[in-house]
């Protein structure tokens, strides 16, 4: 049994960094049923579609909203040759998808991705191919997307139907180049990075370049970021700082079972998800050390989410998405908000059907996962200013389910608070990780402004293992109620394993 009372003090007059809407971004790879079926069904499909894009997916992503989407991978990015995916679809060459043991019709290519991004209101983020590609291929891609002159590739884009440049701003220089993206050493990748970034930056000074980082794990070196940044050489040659705008990291929370987990395994996963904050701390420190004197580099968490044993290559990395996933998502998004001065983008893996997605489909049926609802609630912070706060949360001592290792204190409440840029609204989001206890959380608002009411959205259920499906699409969905707040103190009760979002009007 834990102490079931938390306390949260928020200074409404002490705004900090702006929370980038891009913290609520997504990642869509040519993997399993993410792109094909989830997004693209083709114009001849009996599934209702707009120019080949499933209409229900467009509607759900627009409503979320979806600020940014990363494409085409993932591991697929470093085997993808973009010229195979342009021009009349009937004439496109089928290609291999070696990592995910499939073939690709190439019917979803650059123009489809950029049309799709526009239809859902998202900014596109393209990962260029370093592993099996070349700087020339990346430059041509850049020219195809952003060229406004009469070059071969800008004209080719016009002939393919897109007159105005797409002006794609975010470009990743490879993906996981310590692994599927070429198995480079950190030093080799630094050399590749300098080569690619020199020409890409030279071609288009307005783009934002994202370098591949790594946090250590089962298959890649723990000191990658350190070695990569040392070898990049910004310390010695500060002019090189202009080649890098963001460093990416990936973090998957591995769990034994998507819905058959025990209570002890639930708490294990909650503890594992705390790792993201340590990742951010280490990445900030290494960036400050090597580049900080010359430039502020942002941290992009361009793949994150849960990954259970059920998600295998032969089922296209599909897994159930329960209320547990929503709790992990909301708590992780609270961390990103709290790190708003460093985290410039984050992309959940992966938008539809794959891993911790926000949407799942079966033929013509589509439903929203609990994670979708968590994103919807917490993304109310987008564009707001983070507020200074003090959260006193009860903790639970968690001993690993398999009996190994030492126990870890798990903070039971996760939270973040922000203020609208016009100062007229507050957003407060809270997660209670406890499986059985309601946590009372009095909130004290410090500052001149007083709330005069608002709404509370809550995602809760008696069963943390419950999930949505074609048969029960709304098994897990948020409830909404009005609250009459008229003073500096609010009394909030957080049900077991729940997500709560308060949106308060300031008088």
Nearest CA-CA partner of 225 in 163, 286, 306, 168: 286
Choices 37-45, 236-244, 349-357, 477-485; region in contact with ligand AHR by CB under 6 A: 349-357
Among 12, 332, 344, 350, interactor with ligand AHR by CB under 6 A: 350
| Largest Cα span, the chain | 70
Q: Active site includes 303?
A: yes
CA distances from 23 to 165, 172, 226, 298, 485 (A): 26, 16, 24, 12, 29
CA distance 392 to 390: 7
Q: Which is nearer to ligand AHR, 147 or 305 (CB)?
A: 305
349 binds ligand AHR (CB under 6 A): yes
Q: Active site includes 440?
A: no
131 binds ligand AHR (CB under 6 A): no
Which backbone phi and psi does 64 adopt, to 5 degrees? -65, -55
Q: How far is the CB of 491 from ligand AHR (least distance, A)?
A: 41
**Which residues does 51 contact at the CB level (< 8 Å), separation at least 6?**
43, 115
Among 21, 25, 74, 174, interactor with ligand AHR by CB under 6 A: 74
* Number of residues counted as binding ligand AHR (CB under 6 A): 10
Helices within 68-185 (DSSP H only): 110-120, 135-146, 152-159
Q: How far is the CB of 77 from ligand AHR (least distance, A)?
A: 8
Choices 73-81, 280-288, 380-388, 404-412; region in contact with ligand AHR by CB under 6 A: 73-81
- CA gyration radius for the chain? 23
Q: Which is nearer to ligand AHR, 76 or 82 (CB)?
A: 76
Cα 496 to the center of its chain, rounded Å: 25
**Which residues does 381 contact at the CB level (< 8 Å), separation at least 6?**
19, 337, 416, 418, 427, 429
Q: How far is the CB of 268 from ligand AHR (least distance, A)?
A: 21
Burial letters for 183-203: b for 16+ Cβ neighbours within 10 Å, e otherwise? ebebeebbebbbbbbeebbeb
75 binds ligand AHR (CB under 6 A): yes
Q: Which is nearer to ligand AHR, 85 or 131 (CB)?
A: 131
- Sign, CA torsion 259/263/268/270: positive
Of residues 123, 176, 192, 318, which has the active-site annotation? 176
Q: Which residues pair with 96 in a beta bridge?
A: 103
Among 25, 38, 73, 496, interactor with ligand AHR by CB under 6 A: 73
Q: On the CB side of 26, how many CA atoms lie within 13 Å of its CA?
A: 30
Q: Which is nearer to ligand AHR, 166 or 304 (CB)?
A: 304
Among 37, 303, 318, 437, interactor with ligand AHR by CB under 6 A: 303
182 binds ligand AHR (CB under 6 A): no
Q: On the CB side of 106, how many CA atoms lie within 13 Å of its CA?
A: 18
Q: Which is nearer to ligand AHR, 31 or 60 (CB)?
A: 31
Choices 45-53, 114-122, 348-356, 404-412; region in contact with ligand AHR by CB under 6 A: 348-356
CB 34 within 8 A of CB 351: yes
Of residues 29, 37, 303, 318, which has the active-site annotation? 303
Give the strands of the sheet with 7-18, arranged side by side: 479-483, 451-459, 498-506, 425-432, 413-419, 385-392, 7-18, 439-446, 489-494
CA distances from 201 to 111, 139, 189, 243 (A): 22, 9, 17, 7
CB 116 within 8 A of CB 125: no
CA distance 433 to 152: 56
CA distance 187 to 192: 9
Q: How far is the CB of 74 from ligand AHR (least distance, A)?
A: 3
Choices 67-75, 88-96, 120-128, 393-401; region in contact with ligand AHR by CB under 6 A: 67-75
First to last CA, the chain: 40
Q: Which is nearer to ligand AHR, 52 or 74 (CB)?
A: 74
Q: Which is nearer to ligand AHR, 248 or 429 (CB)?
A: 248
79 binds ligand AHR (CB under 6 A): no
176 binds ligand AHR (CB under 6 A): yes
Which backbone phi and psi does 204 adopt, to 5 degrees? -145, 100
Among 20, 22, 146, 175, interactor with ligand AHR by CB under 6 A: 175
Choices 71-79, 121-129, 265-273, 493-501; region in contact with ligand AHR by CB under 6 A: 71-79
Q: Which is nearer to ligand AHR, 29 or 123 (CB)?
A: 29
140 binds ligand AHR (CB under 6 A): no
Q: How far is the CB of 12 from ligand AHR (least distance, A)?
A: 39
Site for ligand AHR in 3-32 (CB under 6 A): 29
Q: Which is nearer to ligand AHR, 346 or 499 (CB)?
A: 346
Choices 70-78, 224-232, 266-274, 487-495; region in contact with ligand AHR by CB under 6 A: 70-78
Residue with token string 């990954």: 307
Q: How far is the CB of 89 from ligand AHR (least distance, A)?
A: 24
Active-site residue set:
176, 303
What is the contact surface with ligand AHR in residues (CB under 6 A)? Answer: 29, 73-75, 175-176, 303, 349-350, 355
């Amino acid at each position: 049994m834990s102490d079931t009372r938390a306390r949260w003090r928020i200074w409404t007059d002490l705004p900090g960094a702006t929370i980038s809407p891009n913290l609520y971004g997504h990642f869509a790879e040519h993997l399993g049923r993410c792109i094909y079926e989830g997004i693209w069904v083709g114009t001849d499909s009996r599934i209702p579609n707009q120019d080949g894009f499933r209409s229900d997916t467009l509607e759900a992503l627009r409503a979320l909203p979806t600020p940014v989407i990363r494409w085409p991978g993932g591991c697929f990015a470093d085997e993808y040759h973009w010229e195979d995916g342009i021009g009349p679809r009937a004439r496109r060459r089928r290609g291999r998808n070696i990592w995910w043991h499939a073939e690709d019709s190439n019917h979803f290519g650059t123009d489809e991705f950029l049309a799709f991004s526009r239809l859902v209101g998202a900014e596109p983020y393209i990962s260029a191919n370093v592993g099996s590609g070349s700087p020339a291929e990346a430059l041509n891609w850049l020219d195809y997307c952003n060229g406004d002159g009469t070059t071969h590739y800008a004209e080719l884009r016009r002939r393919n139907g897109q007159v105005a440049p797409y002006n794609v701003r975010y470009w990743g220089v490879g993906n996981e180049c310590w692994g599927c993206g070429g198995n480079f050493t950190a030093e080799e990748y630094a050399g590749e990075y300098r080569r690619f970034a020199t020409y890409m930056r030279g071609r288009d000074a307005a783009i934002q370049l994202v370098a591949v980082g790594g946090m250590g794990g089962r298959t890649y070196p723990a000191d990658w970021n350190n070695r990569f940044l040392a070898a990049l050489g910004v310390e010695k040659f500060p002019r090189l700082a202009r080649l890098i705008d963001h460093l990416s990291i990936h973090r998957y929370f591995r769990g034994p079972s998507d819905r058959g987990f025990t209570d002890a395994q639930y708490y294990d996963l909650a503890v594992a998800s705390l790792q993201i904050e340590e990742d951010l701390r280490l990445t900030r420190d290494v960036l400050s050390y090597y580049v900080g004197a010359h430039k502020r580099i942002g941290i992009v968490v361009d793949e994150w989410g849960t990954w259970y044993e059920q998600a295998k290559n032969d089922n296209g990395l599909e897994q159930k998405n329960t209320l547990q996933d929503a709790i992990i998502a909301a708590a992780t998004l609270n961390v990103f908000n709290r790190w708003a001065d460093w985290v410039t983008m984050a992309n959940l893996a992966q938008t539809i059907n794959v891993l911790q997605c926000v949407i799942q489909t079966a033929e013509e049926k589509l439903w929203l996962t609990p994670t979708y609802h968590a994103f919807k609630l917490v993304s109310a912070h987008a564009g707001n200013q983070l507020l200074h706060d003090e959260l006193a949360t009860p903790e639970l001592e968690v001993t690993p389910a398999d009996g190994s290792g030492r126990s870890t204190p798990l903070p039971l409440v996760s939270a973040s608070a922000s203020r609208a840029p016009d100062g007229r609204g507050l957003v407060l989001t809270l997660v209670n990780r406890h499986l059985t206890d309601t946590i009372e959380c009095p909130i004290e608002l410090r500052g001149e402004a007083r709330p005069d009411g608002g709404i509370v959205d809550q995602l809760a259920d008696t069963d943390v293992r419950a999930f949505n499906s074609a048969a029960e699409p709304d098994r897990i969905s948020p409830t909404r109620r009005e609250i009459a707040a008229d003073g500096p103190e609010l009394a909030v009760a957080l049900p077991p394993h729940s997500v709560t979002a308060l949106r308060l009007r300031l008088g």
